[in-house]
Amino acid sequence: MKKLVASLGIVTMLLLIIPGILAASTNYYVQPGDTLWKISVKHKIGLSEII
């Protein structure tokens, strides 16, 4: 039972930590001629993530 509780605690911590790591922001400086569409394609993200 103690192993189960410890395992659940570790899994819970990982589930709380990993999304923050994956969502770490990246700075991008807009260049002349850039559009939101070009930036989203270049960085493989959706337009809604930029706006």
Which pLDDT does position 10 carry in this prediction? 82
* Predicted pLDDT at 5: 80
Q: For the segment 1-51, what is each residue's pLDDT rounded down to a tens digit?
A: 778 888 888 878 777 776 666 666 778 899 999 999 999 999 888 888 888
What is the spatial distance between Cα 16 and Cα 36, in angstroms, rounded to a whole number? 30
Whole-model pTM: value is 0.49
* Domain edges within the chain: 2-50
Burial of 40 (C-beta count, 10 Å sphere; 0-12/13-18/19+): middle
Amino acid identity for residue 29 in this structure: Y
Count of beta carbons in the 10 Å neighbourhood of residue 39: 15
